[in-house]
Homo-oligomer: A and B are copies of this chain.
């Protein structure tokens, strides 16, 4: 350690903490106010960070929101990975998997991402930033679901059934944005877990 370290470390910590506060505020802001209501200034105010500091970290709102969704997805995926790793045999039951995914896709993070994706459909610059993130999130969610289910993708139809599971849950996320769809969602996911058990059964 040099003599400078004590003063530099706290500054780096403060900078990292500021960045995290901005990312979390951006997710909340997108989820509640949508893309049109999410600017660097609004997010800075919500995070309790000066506008100058916010713009130092994130010069554009496109950069801020993309980083926010990427960060949020990483946190949720890590939580799910840890949960899977902590289970005996390193996997969950089909019902546990669809329940965890169902919670993830009805969270403020999903709402935030949904606002962004739909805005990107008529905004080329935002679309170009989101496409690599969409591909990365899709791959990671698929890999994690296969692992959690203990699914054998070398069996015919298993890969498509896992993809269908994620699409079904994405659809349920969308079904929840205007009304509380939780009771219906629980019934659908309970039945789907039974079907998954019967389709994936022999391989597990």
Please report A residues at the B interface, Cβ cutoff 8 Å: 32-34, 36-37, 111, 114-115, 117-122, 127, 130-131, 134, 157, 160-161, 163-164, 166-175, 177-179, 184, 187-188, 190-192, 194-195, 199
Contacts and interface: CB of A to CB of B under 8 A. Distances in A.
Interface of A, secondary structure class, is: helix
B36 A130 contact: no
Interface centre among A127, A167, A174, A190 (most CB of B within 10 A): A167
Contacts of A184: 163
Nearest to A37: B122
Nearest to A157: B191
A146 to B, nearest CB: 15
Copies of the polypeptide in the assembly? 2
A117 B181 CA distance: 15
Contacts of A170: 170-171, 174-175
B121 A34 contact: yes
A163 to B, nearest CB: 5
